[in-house]
């Protein structure tokens, strides 16, 4: 039998149960996060750690890792300044520009395969990214003519 001073009033037990339910719902919601959303959530913690590490040891490896965490938060301009790897710097600059670009409506592209003309998908996804401008996770997409922009939805096959 629990001593009286340790017994919780009914109202408190109810509140506790509600808190636990809320936590469980949050946890379940986390499970349903997309990989890109998970990356963003994790990057908020990793960024702090990597900033501290970078202050102690500002080598290329740490700089590139910090830039990656910034990019997961849609901070591509900062990432381009922090990164040391030329390929990643180009990618971050491209993503930053694509987020600012207007979507195009270029027609489908075609590819010749032997005698046949194969219709190419209008857009292809380059990477799942977070756009701070759009306040959403979505896709960095490219049309057959090479225009790149942000799309909320994954490109479809047609």
| Site residues for Zn ion per CB under 5 A | 104, 106, 143, 145, 147
Give me the sheet containing 123-131, strands edge to edge. Answer: 123-131, 136-143, 148-151
DSSP class of residue 156 equals P
Q: Taking the complex as a whole, how short is the minimal distance between the CB of residue 109 and Zn ion, in angstroms? A: 9
Shortest Å, Cβ 104 to Zn ion? 3
**In sequence order, what are the residues at sequence separation of 6 or more whose Cβ sits closer than 8 angstroms to the Cβ of residue 69?**
43, 46, 47, 50
SS3 state at 29? helix
Q: Which is nearer to Zn ion, 106 or 153 (CB)?
A: 106
User: Least distance from C-beta 132 to Zn ion, angstroms?
Assistant: 23
Question: CB-wise, 36 or 94, nearer to Zn ion?
Answer: 94
Nearer to Zn ion, 66 or 143 (CB): 143
């Amino acid at each position: 039998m629990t001593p009286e001073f340790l017994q919780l009033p009914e109202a408190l037990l109810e509140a506790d149960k509600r808190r636990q339910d809320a936590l469980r719902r949050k946890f379940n919601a986390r499970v349903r996060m997309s990989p890109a959303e998970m990356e963003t959530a994790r990057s908020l913690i990793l960024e702090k750690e990597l900033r501290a590490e970078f202050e102690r040891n500002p080598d290329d490896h740490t700089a590139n890792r910090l830039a990656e965490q910034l990019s997961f938060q849609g901070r591509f301009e900062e990432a381009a300044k922090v990164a040391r790897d030329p390929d990643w710097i180009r990618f971050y600059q491209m993503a930053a520009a694509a987020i600012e670009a207007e979507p195009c409506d270029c027609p489908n592209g075609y590819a010749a395969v032997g005698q046949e003309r194969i219709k190419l998908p209008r857009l292809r996804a380059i990477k799942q990214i977070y756009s701070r401008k759009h306040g959403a996770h979505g896709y960095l997409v490219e049309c057959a003519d090479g225009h790149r922009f942000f799309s909320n939805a994954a490109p479809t096959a047609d």
